[in-house]
Structure 1
């Protein structure tokens, strides 16, 4: 079997290496446009700050070492420009000589990845305008920072790469601002209220996010001096363009392969509409594991898993790649975030009857040094109680919460399935009732009617119709009545039994306990503000 793999880095090299292990007799050749066959793209932001010290540490393999380890033939600096499906050949240009070469295949794997979006605005050719896609990009930015040329930087794009670059530049004492045209950072990844919480935490750490703000022009004589936005001009010594990526599939426009917004559509064997042509990595769509619909997942994890799955199918094994959940984690300035499954809006769009909850829980035993908190949002099917999604933010191990939720969602677990699971516990690692399990219990209380709560969206819409009641350990809200749980042993003075009461405490737990007691004393319309003052900092800021 003669197999041509177009592209390297993650998906292409994984597919080729795994197929060679499965079938040592397969004739496999990688054709790649770049000179680096395999590098750690996800590590680029951390090289900029020096967390990853040496550029060579980003290079997983040289073409020579890859060939020796895998037995796969590699041709670098070779750009495939055409696919002839009928003749089963690809046409490529040798970028060093300009010669046009033709390669025959029995099976073709397209793993051409994606490239940074380049905005059509003046000033992008100025010195100190950077992208972040290759080790060379990261190296140029790092050298400029270490030369002392950058004191202020504007990052255009509030996605993963932009925010991770922001964190790493801030660690080098660069004053960083992030702009994004979307209403919130990480659009589509987090629900708006969680994104808003993260934006506030970034601001606390010195990274200012200006959302709803578009790039208009990069100004300067020879190098960046200002970045003109739809709001105002911002002084800057550098501008990092991280406005998303676009699939590298233009050379396939006449090949008759089905695409969506430039990404190749694939089935659960990673085949395109041509069964002899596979597509993996950032140039391809996969499947959303919950909805069954096509989803673009330009993640290193997806590239590797899909590349491996495609190779196994090529080797004749019966595989069915079920797809992705939109899982991701990120270390940002002052906070870490994680998410998997459907956001609340995505779940509604998919037709699920949705219930959600936001809660603030300890990340480990509260008495253990370094203990902090997690903000967790759970999304579930109101009728079946199936877990559909989880979002979290905190300083602790957000990846552990995400991975537990990945497992649960993949197994179609209900909240009840998670309620009594035997999770690991010791004070340095967790709480006696696991943080995610704690969140599950809160959502079950809400679904079962034991907790009547108000979400952030509901608070924004109808919070003014309720009388705020301070239910904290000690009075914390000026101008509002205070109820002390410890002395609440009957009707609360000054609060009407049929009055609309919004109970607020630091995290939400104590307000729930007050609500439970007030219900016992005949109060009919109480709500607990989800996340309390930890999540709704505006309550204390207005004092």
Structure 2
């Protein structure tokens, strides 16, 4: 007899599960219930539809109910809300939102993919006209209609995460003056503060007003539109406000059905995405999964993991042994003409869980400097100080950023070390990279640190005065470079004068060396160590100091 498999929710996880189920079982009866009007759409593309980069909302639709039926023989029922799961008799209660009729559907296996709902805090004025969420195609259509009708000139984006930044970029491209109000002290929370500082400066240069460390207190109607008030008492007039505060897992159905939830509030699942009920699986933004690096449970609403989870749930329903490895938060965001990407654990996360780490910074070009168009990448690599195992990476630049983070992401998943990055064989041609790719260089800098060839001292203890009080700080840049700024108390001995002036430095004190980006500092450290000095390089040099110093308290 054919099995009856029901899927609640579409988009990434549910749609992937349904398609995979059909590929594994041609005889099963598969039905997808979706509360909204679209079963499979590109919600990551919504800011670009608002910005008119994507012209037609139909381009956001990945697959229609008709396509599911024609290609996969899967019945998709949009505008159908599942009201209740009766796990004892393996049925669900469904309401047709078009007719208000309800029905009961039985299942042999059930997949939950309810997703997450956007946070809409109960603030004064939150329901005023002109305040929008951006989570679905209808949301984006409403925003576009409002913009066209009222010819908006000013917007406030509440939240500086991925959606907030992408929406900001698209509104600016449409000639709108944008203010970002963010309760935290930085944009892009998955990144570390000093990396986010690069984006802060970039956004300001593009005319964006950043209001950081100041949450929204309320929304007020004015004669000319809206006003967003913050907790500090500031007020920002606007014609439209878009909420991008974040999302929470949609667990109402699961909770009411008696399924077990995790400590973070998501649906608890095993490695095969099975819930506490043996006949029910859950995937996507609603579930808690293990962080691949830290081993801690996490809520990470990303499309890539949701798609993989959908496939694994389908495998498990069909008796296969596939398991979900966990998430590592690999993500990328375009911010005007810069790209920010990250994978693995951030320094903040490692500190929070007490995981030992070391870090290095470097600032290479994305391809060789002699070929036209070389663009700088700000790169941060985190690794285990004992065995060099890679823990995380972050990068910001104008080109080649996501390529390098993708390489590190795969290295993390394979449990590789910085020594493996040293030896990675990557594509090279002048217009694409360098014989020593930025990924290779990151591995080399980290490996040199671990081998003791070029041990490092970080900027933070130097800035805070928490390092060896007898240290000598040496700036090895040129006279022209230091004329634009150098660390107070540092000695300037340009690298090309170091051999003849080395005797000016004491051998009984630690010597901390920095340059512009770290390369000259490394060469000087090698020189000094071979001459009997206790020398350390400051990774990333003055370039790292220029943005990290703004974050050190």
- Pair in the same fold by TM > 0.5: yes
- Most deviating of 77-86 and 529-538: 529-538
1:120 aligns with 2:122: yes
Please name the residue that 1:75 is paired with. Answer: 77
Distance 1:223 1:143 in 2: 18
Aligned residue in 2 for 1:252? 254
TM-score after normalising by structure 2: 0.92
Matched-pair contact (CA < 8 Å) for 1:491–1:518:
no
Give yes or no for contact 1:193–1:456 (8 Å, CA) kept in 2. Answer: no
1:528 aligns with 2:537: yes
Contact 1:205 1:334 (8 Å CA) reproduced: no
Give distance in 1, aligned partners of 2:122 and 2:549. 43
Q: Alpha-carbon deviation of 1:143?
A: 3.5
> 1:209-358 maps to which residues of 2 (within 5 A)?
209-221=210-222, 224-231=225-232, 232-260=234-262, 261-358=264-361
Asked if 1:92 is matched to 2:60, the reply is: no
Q: Secondary structure at the match of 1:413?
A: coil
Q: What is the deviation of 1:330?
A: 1.0
Q: Could you tell me whether the CA contact under 8 Å between 2:511 and 2:533 is conserved in 1? A: no
Give CA deviations for 1:271-291 in whole Å, capped at 9, x if unaligned: 001111000111112222234
Q: Secondary structure at the match of 1:282?
A: helix
Distance 1:234 1:95, change over 3 A: same
- Cα distance 1:447–1:225, how it changes in 2: closer, same or farther (>3 A)? same
Within 2, Cα distance between the matches of 1:422 and 1:350? 33
Among 485, 510, 513, the residue aligned to 2:520: 510
The number of residues matched between the two structures is: 539
Task: Report the Cα distance in structure 2 between the residues aligned to 1:361 and 1:330, rounded to whole angstroms.
Answer: 20
List runs of 5+ in structure 1 lacking aligned partners: none
Task: For 2:548 and 2:72, locate their aligned partners in 1 and report how far apart those are by CA, in whole Å.
Answer: 60
Match status 1:452 vs 2:452: no
Residue of structure 2 in register with 1:130 after alignment: 132
Inter-partner Cα distance in structure 2 for 1:22 and 1:61? 20
Report deviation, 1:92. Answer: 1.7
CA shift, 1:501, in A, is: 5.1
Superposed counterparts of 1:195-214, under 5 Å: 195-214=196-215
1:396 corresponds, among 395, 399, 413, to 399
Give the drift of 1:117: 0.4
**2 CA distance for matches of 1:89 and 1:61?**
27
CA distance in 2, matches of 1:540, 1:287: 33
Q: Does the 8 A contact of 2:194 with 2:548 survive in 1?
A: no
Distance in 2 of aligned mates of 1:540 and 1:63: 53
Once residues 166 and 527 of structure 1 are traced to their aligned partners in structure 2, the CA distance between those partners, rounded to angstroms, is 42
From the superposition, tell whether residues 467 and 142 of structure 1 become closer, same or farther in structure 2 (CA, over 3 Å): farther
1:304-349 deviation line (CA, Å, top 9, x unaligned): 1111111121122221121211111111134211111112232344
Tell me the distance in 2 between the aligned counterparts of 1:502 and 1:155: 43
- Alpha-carbon contact 2:198-2:547 (below 8 Å) kept: no
The answer to whether 1:16 aligns with 2:21 is: no
8 Å contact 1:470–1:476 — kept in the other structure? Answer: no
Using the size of structure 1 for normalisation, the TM-score is 0.93
2-structure distance, mates of 1:539, 1:230 = 27
Distance 2:98 2:301 in 1: 30
Residue 46 of structure 2 corresponds to 44
Q: Is the Cα–Cα contact under 8 Å of residues 387 and 415 in structure 1 kept in the other structure? A: yes
Structure 2 stretches lacking a partner, 5+ long: none
Deviations 1:374-400 (A, max 9, x none): 111111111121111111111112221
Task: Measure how far apart 1:488 and its partner are.
Answer: 2.5
**SS at 2:499 equivalent:** coil
| C-alpha contact (below 8 Å) 1:358/1:455 kept by paired residues | no
Query: C-alpha displacement at 1:70, in angstroms?
Result: 1.5
Q: Give SS of 1:488's match.
A: helix
Q: CA–CA distance in 1 between the matches of 2:301 and 2:224?
A: 32
CA distance in 2, matches of 1:92, 1:540: 56
DSSP-derived class of the 1:338 partner? strand
Q: Is the 8 A contact 1:126 1:224 kept in 2?
A: no
Is this contact kept in 1: 2:463–2:549, CA < 8 A? Answer: no
For the Cα contact (< 8 Å) 1:80–1:93, is it kept in 2? yes
Query: Residues 330, 509 of structure 1: CA spacing in aligned structure 2 closer, same or farther, 3 A cutoff?
Result: same
1:3 is aligned, of 2, 5, 12, to: 5
Against the structure 1 CA distance between its residues 426 and 473, is the aligned structure 2 distance closer, same or farther, given a 3 Å change threshold?
Answer: farther
Shift in CA distance, 538/326, structure 1 to aligned 2, threshold 3 Å: closer
Q: 1:540 to 1:92 in 2, by over 3 A?
A: closer
Q: Is the 8 A contact 2:363 2:377 kept in 1?
A: yes
The CA deviation at 1:499 is 5.7
Separation in 2 of the partners of 1:297 and 1:253? 20
- For residue 502 of structure 1, report the CA deviation from its aligned partner: 4.4
Contact 2:421/2:442, CA 8 A, preserved across alignment: no
Which residue of the partner structure matches residue 546 of structure 2?
Answer: 537
Residues 197 and 547 of structure 2 are in contact (CA less than 8 Å); yes or no, is this contact kept in structure 1? no
CA contact (8 A) 1:38 1:59 kept: yes
Partners of 1:223 and 1:26 in 2: CA distance: 58
Deviation at 1:97, TM superposition (A): 2.0
- Taking the aligned partners of 2:352 and 2:53, their CA distance within structure 1 comes to 40
Query: Partner of 1:310: helix, strand, or coil?
Result: helix
Contact 2:255-2:261 at 8 Å conserved across structures = no
CA-CA distance at 1:223 after TM superposition = 7.1
Inter-CA distance 265–421: structure 2 relative to 1 (3 Å threshold): same
**Aligned-residue offset at 1:351:** 4.8
